[in-house]
Every structure is written in structure tokens, then in C-alpha cells.
Amino acid sequence: MTEIDYGAIARDAGLARVGARPPLPSYIKEMWQRRHFAVKMARYRIEASLAQNRLGLAWVVLNPLLQAAVYGFVFGLIMDRGSRAGLNFIPFLVTGFFVFQFFAQSFSQGAKSITGNTSLVRSLGFPRMLLPVSAVIRQIYELVPMMIVLAFILVGFGEMPSWKWLLVPPILALMTLFNTGVALIAARLTVHLRDMTQIIPVITRLIMYMTGIFYSLEEVLADNPPWMLTVAQLNPVHDYIQMVRACVLEGQEVNTLILVTAFVAAFGFFGAGIYFFWSAEERYGRD
């Protein structure tokens, strides 16, 4: 008895397999059509996470501000790191920490965006990429009040506004591309390797200490072989922070290596993250 090839019949009829991965251009188009879902989910997550707190949205700023205060006390007063480096230390620290939080939260929340929404992934049909993108959008929402508070801190510690402050939003937009790429890569890796959720905090802490949040890499490595500073400046997170600092703080500069690394990392990670995540679209909710 001849076996019927149902797959061939379905293809001839133009029927697609349930959960089949669409071509990348169609996938991106569908994502754009459903972008409002990612935006609304980001807002809902913020409201839900702060609903139980009396201060509500204020914790978006208070939490990183309190953490920055702890590090400022340790590195600025106890260790006196700031005065030895000749920095306006409090603005230097808060600027670096706020911008770093944008990366760290995009990384950690993006990594959990699929595994933390398993029921949603299994019950509804939509581009799964919207979930890590929504996690980054949430961090953008939370970054805005942090930048407003940062502006007051800068002025309060003697850093007067200048035209260079207008360059901060484009720099953060560039960093958003990088963060999105990192979030997409981490989201897929966490699906395949659940232990990633335990490793990510360690990676984040390591990057924080290597990025120069509490000290100037340029000052600390000034007496070392030049290649050490070159390697340190290949860290995109450091480069975005340094670019923002150069815009809002006196005495902070960027070089060609920092600029090139920032642009290459932004578009490179963004493109690689999209392709890497999309290529496993059929597996989300099944592994």
C-alpha cells in the first residue's frame, strides 16, 4: 500500500507547519506589527513590580541611588579612591553606576524573558523575540527618571550643563542596540542552559569591576603597558559609560578606539542577537 506523503500535500496547498519559523524579513515585519505588545508588557511589568511598595515608581531611582551611595562610601571615603584619581567623584560614580544598571538589568531581565514566561510562550502565537525586546524597553522606561535625577546630581556637585549633554540620548540609543543584542543572546542561551541564570550575576559583577565604575581605568592603568589600557577599552560597557561621562563631566575624554568599539559592538551585537535568537524560534516553549 502506497504511503501518503502528507507533508508534500500540505506544502502544495500552501499550509505551514504549526510553530514553523518564518523567514527573517517576515519575522521582523510581524514583530513591528505587534510592537505595542512589547511596550504594554514593559509598562505592566514596571507597575506590577512596584505595586506593593508605598514609594512605588520612586524605587526605580532610589534602588540604584542607594547602591551607588554604598559604593561611594566605600570607594570615595573609606578607600579615598576618588581624590587620588583627581575626580569629581560623586558625579563620576553615579553617572557610571546609572548607565551600568541599564546594561546589567537589560542583560539579566532579557535572559529570563523566555524561561520566565513559559505559559505565555506555549499558549499564544507571536514572535518570541518580543519578550527580550520588552525587557529592554522596560529598562529604557526606568532609565529616564534616573537620567533626570542624574542631571540634578551633576548640577549639585558643580557640573554645569553644556551643549554636550545633548549627545547623551544618542549614546544611550546606541547602547540600547548593544543591550538588545546581549538580551537576545542571553535569552536563547538560558533556554538551552537553565544554569545560565546562576552564572549571569557572576558575569555581571565581573563586568562591573572591569568597567571602571568606581575608578578611572585611564588613571589606574596609566603606568602600565599601553596594551592593558587598549584591552580595557575594548569593553563596550566601559566605552558607553566613558562616552556619557565625557559629555557631562569635565576632564573626561574619549579616543578613536572607544568610539569605534562602541559603534561596532552596538550594531554587531544587535545583528548577531537577532539572527541567533530567530534561528531557534521553533524551540522556544518546547525545550
Each residue of 55-104: pLDDT tens digit? 556 666 677 777 777 766 666 665 555 444 567 888 898 899 899 999 99
Q: Which residue has the higher pLDDT, 8 or 241?
A: 241
Give the span between the Cα atoms of 148 and 155, in whole angstroms. 11
Q: pLDDT by residue (tens digit) across 160-204?
A: 889 999 999 999 999 999 999 999 999 999 988 877 888 998 999
pLDDT for 6: 40
pLDDT for 63: 72
- Check pLDDT > 90 for residue 265: yes
Please report, for residues 6, 58, 77, 101, 159, the alpha-carbon distance to residue 73 in angstroms, rounded to integers and kept in the order given: 69, 22, 5, 18, 20
Q: What is the mean pLDDT of residues 112-131?
A: 85
CB within 8 Å of 269: residues ≥ 6 apart: 177, 178, 180, 181, 182, 185, 236
- Check pLDDT > 50 for residue 258: yes
pLDDT for 80: 57
- Looking up cell 569605534 gives 260
- Check pLDDT > 60 for residue 263: yes
- Looking up cell 505551514 gives 16
pLDDT for 15: 43
Q: What one-character-per-residue DSSP string does 126-159 give?
A: S-TTHHHHHHHHHHHHHHHHHHHHHHHHHHHTT-
CB within 8 Å of 247: residues ≥ 6 apart: 164, 165, 167, 168, 171
Q: Which residue has the higher pLDDT, 66 or 213?
A: 213
DSSP classification of residue 193: -
